[in-house]
Copies of this chain bind each other. A is one copy, B any other.
């Protein structure tokens, strides 16, 4: 199996290093990841300047661009192989509910999916890298298992609780929950007395009910959410078609 690995925390992040170590025994792995932390970059692509690809001492390739840039360049720019799977992460911190819209981790996987390749995004629920090796083992387990019951290409968003491997209760399918509105921006003054604004944290879970990724992970399970990318609101489309004859 050939796996392309990327992330949004940058090629030096503990999450991608642990992931690659876990995958190397079972697959041919190529890493193409951002040169620095690009958290929150969503599906952004760099259109106004060219990208450069560099090779680190450990063989990882890194790019002065976004997660989507990395996968895009890797898949269309002449990697010697076409991967069987694109894997992204392991992200520092959860990507649940509406987070998936903003996440660079999910975006890297989405880019693979858009090129017709099955793709999986992995995130740890809590920041700080606690039990990252356990999360990497979980990721390997999931990659090995395969998802032959799903249509290919599939796109999976997976969140892993920060627990020791043996305390993780299992793997469960889950839908995306919903969050409340984000917290307000945090205002501060720069040293010249001018107002500056920091984007505040994501909102608290609003729908964290049974079957959501929020509930699944807080119950100690790994959540697996199959994603699709057609944003058409089918129900409202019907309403609108009647109104706009």
Contacts of A220 in B (CB 8 A): none
- Least distance between A158 CB and chain B CB atoms (Å): 11
0/1 interface trace, chain A 222-245, chain B, CB 8 Å (1 if under): 001111111111101101111110
- Least distance between A180 CB and chain B CB atoms (Å): 10
Contacts of A100 in B (CB 8 A): 231
- Least distance between A23 CB and chain B CB atoms (Å): 21
- For the complex, give the distance between the alpha carbons of A39 and B47 in Å: 7
- Least distance between A43 CB and chain B CB atoms (Å): 4
Interface of A is mostly: loop
Across the interface, do A76 and B184 meet the contact criterion of CB distance under 8 Å?
A: yes
Q: A51-B198, A184-B76, A191-B198 are in contact. Are A176 and B231 (CB under 8 A)?
A: yes
**Complex: chain B residue closest to A46, CB-CB:** B199
Q: Considering only CB atoms and an 8 Å cut-off, how many residues of chain A contact the other chain?
A: 90
Across the interface, do B175 and A237 meet the contact criterion of CB distance under 8 Å?
A: yes
Contacts of A69 in B (CB 8 A): 199
A154 contacts partner chain B, Cβ-Cβ < 8 Å: yes
Q: List residues of A whose CB falls within 8 A of some B CB.
A: 12, 35-37, 39-53, 56, 64, 66, 68-69, 72-73, 76-78, 98, 100-102, 104, 107, 110, 114-116, 147, 149-151, 154-155, 157, 170-173, 175-176, 178, 181-188, 190-191, 194-201, 224-234, 236-237, 239-244
